Structures are given as structure tokens and as C-alpha cells.
A and B are shown apart, each in its own frame.
Chain A
């Protein structure tokens, strides 16, 4: 699915990622943990194509394609989805319009006809119920005036409708109370499948109580300093990041 080889990235002259190696197979869930400033968000931004970073070396291959050569919208249409840490408010563009435009862009990219209006509504409303959201959200401007929790749910709603192959969750648990966290986690778990992979970027272990990862990687100073199974997250929680940073 995704193969990151010796990736180095700068912001300006400053190296942020200093040689990342990561192999993600279809159906796997990988958690990337690390202290603030370790380069976690940079990694998720690089994978989704945000500008402002310079790749100084290495490669990222996604389903046999050179991911770094693709503009963000092509990555998205090919199935890469970034759930934002801070979802952006888009006044004047309704949620449902964005969902439809996005879904049709994907279909067009794959040479399929536009989605039928009725089928689309049925699909969307089903997902809205799954995430325990109010249907009214669909007709409001994207994220405008949404609470932190509502914004995160909205990200998962988009993910549920667009059915990506590689889901990158950037600090999805931030700003969520325990109830909202459970709903979001259930939404994510319902999307788990042998064809779909997840990269969860998170500072805290608590999200991993609800979405169990297959692998945990610890990022520090721009490098993966330790990898392991789900139990590594618990160990980190207990011992703190200084334990791996020092290593």
C-alpha cells in the first residue's frame, strides 16, 4: 500500500524528517506517536501533499505510484485521505455540496458516471446516522461554527463517504470528550477492512484504547526511534517519551 524509504524533509533550511522508513500493507493500522515537535504532523502533511515543505531525499510509493509527484487532489482521488487536526471552516460552501463534489471527482477520475442524486442522499444520510450527527449539519457551511468535536466527526463522515484506501488521522482525538471519542472511534472501526490501511498520528495513547493498532512507531527528532506492537503504546504511556528520546 505505502512504502516510505529514507524520507528526509526540510522546512526552509531546517531538517524536520531525517530519514523515515515505513512499510504499510493493506488492512494494517499503524500508530505514529511522538512528543511535540517530533515531526508527526509534518509526516501527515507530506503524505497528503501540503505545500511549504521541501523533500530533500528518499521516496514515498503509494500503490506503485510516486506519491510525492502527485498534486494533493490526485492523491485524494486515488484514495489518500487526511483527517485534519484542525479542520478548516469554508463559509459559503455547504457540507453536502463538498461531499458530492468530492465523490464525483473521485468517480470521474476512475471513469465512472456521476453519482445519482437519490443514491447519494441515501448514502450520506446512512453515514450521518452512523456517526450520530444531526442531518442539519449537511446543509451548513463546511465546519463553520462547528464545535471541535463536530469538526472531527465531520472529518470521519467525509472519510466514510469517500471510502479512501489510505486514511491518515492527524491528532484526531484532540478536542474530543470521551463520548465523542467513542463515536469517532466506532466510525473508524466500522471502516476497517482488509483493503484499507490507517495511519494514526497521535500524541496520547487514549485513542489507541478505542482503535487498536497493529503497529506502533515512535517518532523523535525526525526519526522513527522505536517500533513495536500495540503494547508499545502502553509502555510509552507509563514511561513517557523521555524513555525513547534518550535511547
Chain B
């Protein structure tokens, strides 16, 4: 089946290839061709693969998703999504069905030396194209799994960011992915390059109309020496959608990278986050996944401590209701050379119904002998002692349950330092769990 689907997409690729960006760049053409070959062999991941054992993607093979045509009308629906999700205090770049939409984007007032543009524009611009030649595909491994190669072969557009050395961006950059068509596939690639001692915050937002569609976005981040990058992902796809995301990060010496991953939407959503750490790099991965109905939300992280003195902190929390299923697989690899590594990984799951399920698998692979590494995992229900304590303080049981659930989730929301984004994410948390008695005052 895998091969059949692969050849179907491969055949279709020939018709769409001439429309993909970067036609004039032989290195990119070569990259795409190799990726297509890789994908034709691999196909989409099978549950037989260890990294995919909890997540079966065969559902997407039953549908045929097609790339969207450039220049489709935007419509009222897009405007509504835009007014809900576009942040007022950020530079924002809007992609509709995988294509840059200039009239919806707001990029005024960027410092001259900073590049923020669509991927399609970046490959046609000399400076950015040469940066891309060295960076695009560097943080990923096409052989990792089918979706990575698929993305490299098919990406239509995306975001390109370059922040030169010693410049700290005053405002965040938002890339807003909007899917408006049924059965469309939006395949995008984002490359963020932040040079040494520079700083940037980038927000990736994924939203869509109430359709089945495929959203696949790979982001590569290069954090220069002593640079500081915070990446937020706010995944609010439609509840019929399929989302496959990947964030691949390379950190130079003393570089700091923080990721906040809010996975709320999608019928089937998967996100892979990989970070490679150099000497004394710091990496912080935070995640919150909220599953309702029959959602399946999978997050997969890998932190590679390659050099000494690295620090990593990871906390993923999940709240699963109805028949939802949450998957967390976290790997921390400490190379032989990575002495004095300090790493802590935690995954906490709250199950609100008997039919909800959490699969969690933390893995530590340590090849160095002088390290401090720990991990902890919990899967459970609300603590009855806490509920009784609140009841004994006049709070009725249902409100007590809601208070505790929200407090559990809110710990992750509270880590957001951008006010407008914080409020937006909080709004989404409240939407996902619209129970009575929830008061914003204590959130």
C-alpha cells in the first residue's frame, strides 16, 4: 500500500514540479529530485517503524490531496481566520493553502538588514538564495521518515528569516498558515537563520476551515553562537485535518533555543522536534496538547547533546478527553563527548475520560559518564484529594474539576511571554474545554 501511494504521488509530482519554487536553482532541483527518490522508496511512515508505532497514517493514504492553485480568491472565511489569529503586534507573513499572500501580510518597518520573506521570494533573491544553499536541508535528514523527504520534494512556499549578527528583533515574526480548501495539501518549508549574538521570536500558527486537508510544514532553525531564538507553534488546524510538522534545530556554541508547542487541532496531528546542541547550548522544549473527540495528537522530540556542558529542559503536558489519544515520545541522546550535560525531561498526562488514551515513551541514551539526566512520566486522572480539598472550601465538584484541569494546562500557557499570543492561546484552551465555572480570573 505504501508503495502504491508513493508512486501515485510521484506520478503527480511530474505535473506539478514545473510550478514549484526554485526552478532556476540547480542545487534545489537536485535536492528535490533526491528527496522524491527517497520518498518513492520510503513512502509514508508505517506503524512498523518504532518512531511511528503509536501513530497510523494510513488514513491519509485513502484520500488524494492535491496542491492548491496559486491565485485562488481569498473569501470572507479567510478574513475571519485572519482577524482571529493574526497578531497585532507582530510582523506577519500569511500563507494561504501553502502560498504566500502578500496583501494579507504585514511586514512594514523591519530593520533593513533583516530578511523576512516568503520562501518562494527568497529562492529568487540572490542573498537569501545563497544563504539557503548552505542552510536548506542542513538540519534535516531526508531518510528520517517519509514526511521529511515528501516535504523537501513538494514544498511550494514558506517563510524565510535571516537576522544578522548582534541584532535583536523588537517584535515577533508570525507566519500564519491558513488552509481554506477541502482536500488541499499545503506543503511548506520554513528556514530561520539567526546569526551570532542575535535574537528573534518566531510564531508559527496553523489554522483552517472545517475541511479535511493535509498540512505538512517543516521548519529548520539555525541558532548562531550566543544567539537566542524562541519558536512558538500554535497548531489549531480544523478537526478534520491532518497535520505533519517538523522542527529541526541546529544550535551553535552557547546558543539558546526555546520551543513552545501548542497542539490543539487536527484529526491526526504529528510534530517532530529535533535539536542538536553544541558546547554549552541550552534547549528548552515545552508542549501542551489538548485532545477531544477522536483526535490523535503525537509529539516526538529528540534532543542531541553532542558537546559538553549543554543544558536541556523539557516539559510536555497533555489533557485528553472523550476518545482522544495523545502520544509523546521524547529522546535525549548524550554523546560520548557531551560531558557535564544537564538534562531533564518530563511528560504529564491527564485523562478526563475512560476512553481517552496516553502513550508515553521517554528515552535516555547516555554515552558520556559525567552527566546529570533525569526523566519523569505520569498518566493519571485528577487527584481526588485535591477535589475534596476544594469541595471542603465551598467549591462544587464540577467547578473543582474544571479548576484543576485548567490549572494543569495553564502552567504551559503562562510560559508565553508575548502578551497577545498568550491571550490567543488561552482563548483556545478555553474553547477546547468549555465547561461551566471556568473563571478567567484565576487563569
Contacts and interface: CB of A to CB of B under 8 A. Distances in A.
A84 B389 contact: yes
Interface string B373-389: 00000000001111011
B442 A93 contact: yes
B68 to A, nearest CB: 42
Contacts of B408: 91-92
Contacts, number: 75
B393 interface: yes
A93 B394 contact: no
Contacts of B410: 92
Nearest to B405: A92
A101 interface: yes
A71 B391 contact: yes
Contacts of B404: 90, 92-93
Contacts of A106: 394
B411 interface: yes
B260 to A, nearest CB: 17
Given A72-B388, A88-B385, A93 B403 contact: yes
A98 B394 CA distance: 9
A89 to B, nearest CB: 8
Interface in A57-95: 71-73, 76-77, 81-82, 84, 87-88, 90-94
For B388, B389, B392, B397, the residue with the greatest tally of chain A CB atoms inside 10 Å of its CB is B392
For A48, A71, A90, the residue with the greatest tally of chain B CB atoms inside 10 Å of its CB is A90
Given A92-B407, A92-B408, A93-B403, A76 B393 contact: yes
Nearest to B384: A51
A222 B416 CA distance: 53
A98 B439 CA distance: 11
Contacts of B389: 84, 87-88, 90
A181 interface: no
Nearest to B388: A50
A93 B442 CA distance: 6
Contacts of A93: 403-404, 407, 442
Contact of A97 (B391, B392, B394, B442): B442
Contact of B394 (A94, A105, A141): A105
B103 interface: no
Nearest to A86: B385
A102 interface: yes
For A50, A72, A141, A162, the residue with the greatest tally of chain B CB atoms inside 10 Å of its CB is A72
A53 to B, nearest CB: 12
A127 B167 CA distance: 50
Contacts of B403: 93
Interface size class of A (residues with CB under 8 A): 20 to 34
B390 interface: yes
A39 B390 CA distance: 24
A49 interface: yes
Contacts of B397: 71, 73
Interface in B167-210: none
Interface string B389-419: 1111111110000011011101100000000
A158 interface: yes
A92 B409 CA distance: 9
For the residues of B in contact with A, the DSSP-based class is: helix
Interface size class of B (residues with CB under 8 A): 20 to 34
Contacts of B390: 90, 98
B411 A102 contact: no
B441 interface: yes
A235 B403 CA distance: 47
Nearest to A91: B407
Contacts of A82: 392
B394 A73 contact: yes
A195 B288 CA distance: 49
Nearest to A45: B388
Contact of A92 (B392, B411, B439): B411
Interface in A82-141: 82, 84, 87-88, 90-94, 97-98, 101-103, 105-106, 109, 141
Interface string B136-148: 0000000000000
Contacts of A92: 404, 406-408, 410-411
For A50, A73, A106, A109, the residue with the greatest tally of chain B CB atoms inside 10 Å of its CB is A73
B441 A97 contact: yes
A97 B407 CA distance: 12
Nearest to B443: A92
Given A87-B389, A88-B389, A90-B386, A162 B394 contact: yes
B393 A102 contact: yes
A98 B393 contact: yes
Nearest to B437: A101
Given A50-B388, A97-B442, A91 B411 contact: yes
Given A72-B388, A88-B389, A93-B442, A105 B407 contact: no
Contacts of B388: 50-51, 72, 88
Given A88-B386, A92-B408, A92-B411, A76 B394 contact: yes
Nearest to A109: B394
A93 B399 CA distance: 12
B204 to A, nearest CB: 26
B391 A76 contact: yes
B405 to A, nearest CB: 10
A76 B392 contact: yes
A77 B394 contact: yes
Nearest to B439: A101
A93 B403 CA distance: 8
Contacts of B394: 73, 76-77, 101-103, 105-106, 109, 162
Contacts of B386: 88, 90
Contact of A49 (B383, B391, B395, B441): B391
A167 to B, nearest CB: 12
B394 to A, nearest CB: 4
6 contacts: A84-B392, A91-B407, A92-B406, A92-B410, A97-B442, A162-B393
Interface of A: 48-51, 71-73, 76-77, 81-82, 84, 87-88, 90-94, 97-98, 101-103, 105-106, 109, 141, 158, 162
Interface of B: 383-386, 388-397, 403-404, 406-408, 410-411, 439, 441-442
